[in-house]
Amino acid sequence: MEHKENTYLVQEPVSRLMLKYSVPCIISLLVAALYNIVDQIFIANASYLGSFGNAANTVVFPLTVIALAIAVMIGDGACAFVSISLGAGKKEEAHKSIGSAVVLCVILSAAMTAVYLTFASGILTAFGGRINEETFQQAREYFLWISAGLPFYMFGQAMNPIIRSDGSPRFAMASTLAGALVNIVLDPIFIFLFKWGMMGAALATILGQILTAALSIWYLCHMKAVRLQKDSFGLHLPLAKHYLALGITSFLSQISLVAAMMAINNMVRKYGALDEVFSNPCFAQIPMAVVGIVMKFFQIVISIAVGMAAGCIPVVGYNMGAGRKDRVKALFTRLLVGEFAAGAVALLIAEFFPRQLIGVFGAANESPAYTDFAVKAFRTYLCMMPLATVNKGTFIYLQSVGKALASTLISMVREVIFGVGFALLLPLWFGLDGVLYSMPVSDLLTFIITAFVISVTYRQLSAPVSQPVLTGSCPLATVRRIQITGK
């Protein structure tokens, strides 16, 4: 039945399908990225916070990514497992895996909150928070409040893909958007009107996350394809083992970013202190603040790149299962063109409008050194954006055609070996500028590997249908087709 209903996936033009599936995914990811970015914009434009608050936000950001990594491992894994279970008609496994994901998310988020609150000072120091006393105190204030809201944040992020697996991508998008809008409305009230500083920024974020979590709970009580029962809510370890395995790639992709950000933050702190300008205690926080801003712009662009590729996954999977490698290849071509175009537009903005970009983040309230370093950072750090977006799109596409292992390995090489390695090594020769060089060098070398993988993938997609195309695990749509039809 389901197979017949989805036959339009092998009939409609691939460009139309790409647009139809990718746009909602892009919007959801952009909205999720807005939380931290909006906080940083309002913090930067508050004269009593300024670059100190900006640097504090940069220190805390990777710590929220750790929480996100755990949440998406649970949510993405459960999403895939629920889809497979529903396709096989195993509704009991579906509702128990969702209940297990809920319980597991609550337990892990509570544990993480306890760890963060107990070891706050040591954790912030490890992520470069000891730039100067003012930055550290603001980072600590922001971190403690953000930590208190982690259970709501992680729950909303984990349930979002599960809601999509129930056939409601628009509700998943709307719940995230509602939380982000609350954050946008409350940030200026708490920061400028009430003068609550970093606490105000964190509270606005937490209240938005509470709304998203509440909407997620409401949806769980009104699911369409699955009905949760009392016996749904248990750890159900055999099921948890299966869906966590499916979500491990999502976890690794996020946690590897944390390693890179940790290395970059510490190198910025270390070599900023040796810089002629930023060795001045009054300016010591500027490099950290600026690098954080540049990374937020990068996050927006990468959200578009990831959304574009992730939205294509069901289309690619279904066509692979149907043996339509010609359509899979055509979609890959359009995806690569779209990814490169997104990166090229971002590059032009970063190269020609860096002063306008940094102006959004409170440059008018800072010294000329703030703007000068920001201009250099935007133009240097992001000069390989077209290659970065192609790399990211290819990583995700490889998962959709069953090459999850290859995807994970290349992603880890980019973020850990190159991202961490060059962030640690290049400053030895180039000082603070070496931190800025680490990003384009990593993207360029990764693209050399990616180009080879793209070439191999094209050859496999051009092979006759009888020849094996996939390595690793089968794509989701193929698994579901096998289970439904028995072929």
Reported as a pLDDT band with limits 50, 70 and 90, residue 15 is confident
Residue 378 has pLDDT above 90, yes or no: yes
Q: How many CB atoms lie within 10 A of CB 264?
A: 28
Mean pLDDT of 1-17: 68
Let me know how long the chain is. Answer: 487
Task: State how far the alpha carbon of 367 is from the alpha carbons of 278, 352, 371, in Å.
Answer: 11, 21, 7
Give 313 or 467, the one with higher predicted confidence.
Answer: 313
Distance CA 376, CA 155 (A): 39
Structure tokens at 146: 């953000």
The owner of tokens 């544990």 is: 111
Give 482 or 72, the one with higher predicted confidence.
Answer: 72
Distance CA 3, CA 391 (A): 32
Mean pLDDT of 276-299: 91
Mean pLDDT of 358-370: 86
Reported as a pLDDT band with limits 50, 70 and 90, residue 78 is confident
- At residue 145, the pLDDT reads 97
> What's the mean pLDDT when you consider all of the chain?
87
Mean pLDDT of 204-224: 95
Residue 169 has pLDDT above 80, yes or no: no
- At residue 1, the pLDDT reads 37
Structure tokens at 354: 């860096």
Helices (H), 149-236: 150-165, 169-188, 197-220
Residue pLDDT, tens place only, 401-451:
767 778 888 888 998 899 999 999 999 999 999 999 999 999 999 999 999
Say what the pTM is: 0.83
- At residue 265, the pLDDT reads 93
Structure tokens at 59: 């220190």
Mean pLDDT of 221-235: 86
Distance CA 153, CA 158 (A): 9
- Lowest-confidence range among 30-44, 266-280, 326-340? 30-44
Mean pLDDT of 201-209: 96
DSSP 8-state symbol, 420: I
Nearest in space to 35 (alpha carbons), one of 172, 257, 164, 210: 210
Task: Spell out the SS3 assignment of 398-455.
Answer: HHHCCCHHHHHHHHHHHHHHHHHHHHHHHHHHHCHHHHHHHHHHHHHHHHHHHHHHHH
DSSP 8-state symbol, 474: P
- At residue 345, the pLDDT reads 97
Residue 344 has pLDDT above 70, yes or no: yes
Percent above pLDDT 90 for the chain: 56
Residue pLDDT, tens place only, 88-141:
778 888 889 999 999 999 999 999 999 999 999 999 999 999 999 999 999 999
Helices (H), 197-324: 197-220, 237-272, 286-310, 313-321
What SS3 class is residue 407?
A: helix
Residue 23 has pLDDT above 70, yes or no: yes
Nearest in space to 391 (alpha carbons), one of 335, 446, 456: 446
Cα 304 from chain centre: 10
Task: State how far the alpha carbon of 319 is from the alpha carbons of 160, 249, 396, in Å.
Answer: 25, 22, 16
Residue 473 has pLDDT above 80, yes or no: no
Q: How many CB atoms lie within 10 A of CB 241?
A: 9
- At residue 464, the pLDDT reads 73
Mean pLDDT of 172-197: 93
Distance CA 395, CA 390 (A): 9
- Lowest-confidence range among 86-90, 273-277, 332-336? 86-90
Give 400 or 224, the one with higher predicted confidence.
Answer: 224
- At residue 214, the pLDDT reads 97
- At residue 59, the pLDDT reads 94
Distance CA 276, CA 241 (A): 53
